[in-house]
Structure 1
Amino acid sequence: MTDSNLQIVLQNIHQRQSIGHLVEPAPNAAQLELAFQAALTAPDHHRLKPTRFIVVSGEQREAFGELLAQAIQDLGEIDSAQVERVKHHPFRAPLLILAVTQIVEHQKVPEFEQILSTGAAIQNLLLSLQAQGFASMWRSGAVVESTLLKEKLGLKRSDLISGIIYVGTAAKAIAPRAEQSTQDYVRTWSVDEY
């Protein structure tokens, strides 16, 4: 990799931010395919491929909002204002991608590794979308635990909805992320310390 290519890759990683106000345009089918291809290169012990994606876009967002409202009520939410708020969540962006971890029983690959694999896939997805000029927000919340939601999405109870990724174009310019010192987060281990 040339120095200029390396700088482009690092700049893309360093500039990634969650952006909550997203508008059209959303990625087209070819752009989404690039992002999904990037996602599927995530580390994956024994190549179990536990990660799946479900795309919700256009007019389907309204029906998905209704489903989210049903799911949050199924979880015990009785505040009508909260239910109504959840119903409108899909309109935060022109496109939503649900990331799912389908846990595979494997004696050498614990569940947590499969969940981490999906997390890495999501990060690759976000970075690929950003490199193509799009913005995103990775959200979850109590609703992803809903058995009703899983059932309506054709998932098993053991499947985990690892996030709902909102995708579109940033409605306004966002200030660059402040550079962080790694000193508080990284240390070198030495046997002499213990």
Structure 2
Amino acid sequence: MTDLTHDLIHQNMHQRQSIGQLVEPAPNAQQLQYAFAAALTAPDHHRLKPTRFVVIEPEQRAAFGELLSQALTDLGESEAAQIERVKNHPFRAPLLVLALTEFKDHPKVPHFEQTLSSGAAIQNFLLSLQAQGFASMWRSGAVIESKHFKQALGLKPTDLISGIIYIGTAAKTIAPRQSIQVSDYVSTWQAK
């Protein structure tokens, strides 16, 4: 690997951040497949592949918004303004992808490891999209706990909706990330 390639990879990681205002264009099918392939290289103990992705095409956003509002109602929300707001969430971006964790029972791979594997897969997905020139926002919210929402997606009650990923092109330039003082978060262990 050349120094330039190494620098570009690290620059991509350091610049990644959630973008709230997303517009067209969104990735095409080939670009999405490239990102999904990157996602599925994430660390995965015993290769259980617990991570699943569901693409919400642009023409399905209204129906998906209805599902989100029903999920919120299922959780006890009754305020009309809040329900309407959630119904419009899918229109924050031209394309949405649901990230799911379908847990597999395995004596050596607890569910928390599978959750971490899905998180790594999602990060790979986001980094691949960014390297291809797209922006994204990874969200969750209360609706991911709705039994109605899980049933509509064909999930078991124990499965996890790891998030809704909003994808498109940044509507405007945002400020770069502030530098992080790495030493504030890293220490060296020594035996006593």
- TM-score after normalising by structure 2: 0.99
Q: 1: distance between equivalents of 2:180 and 2:142?
A: 31
| 1:147-166 matches, cutoff 5 A | 147-166=147-166
CA displacement 1:52-107 (0-9 Å, x = unmatched)? 00010211000000000000000100111100000000000001110000000000
Structure 1 residues 134-178: Cα deviation after superposition (integer angstroms, max 9, x where no partner) = 000000001001110111111111110001000000000111111
Identity rate of aligned residues, in percent?
70
Could you say what secondary structure the match of 2:157 adopts?
A: coil
Q: How does 1:20-35 map to 2 (within 5 A)?
A: 20-35=20-35
Letter in 1 for 2:157: R
Partner Cα distance (1:3, 1:54) in 2: 36
Alignment: residue pair count: 192
Correspondence for 1:185 = 185
**CA shift for structure 1 position 25:** 0.4
The amino acid of 2:119's aligned partner reads G
The answer for the alignment partner of 2:109 in structure 1 is: 109
Task: Give the counterpart letter for 1:21 in structure 2.
Answer: Q
Gaps of 5+ in 2: none
Aligned counterpart, 1:74: 74
Secondary structure at 1:169's aligned position in 2? Answer: strand
**1:5 maps to which residue?**
5
What pairs up with 1:93-172 in 2 under 5 angstroms? 93-172=93-172
Q: Which letter maps to 2:21?
A: H
Amino acid at match of 2:149: L
Gaps of 5+ in 1: none
User: Which runs of 4 or more aligned residues in structure 1 lie more than 4 Å from their structure 2 counterparts after TM superposition?
Assistant: none
Separation in structure 2 between the aligned mates of residue 111 and residue 58 of structure 1, nearest angstrom: 32
1:98 aligned counterpart, secondary structure: strand
For 1:183, what is the secondary structure of its paired residue? helix
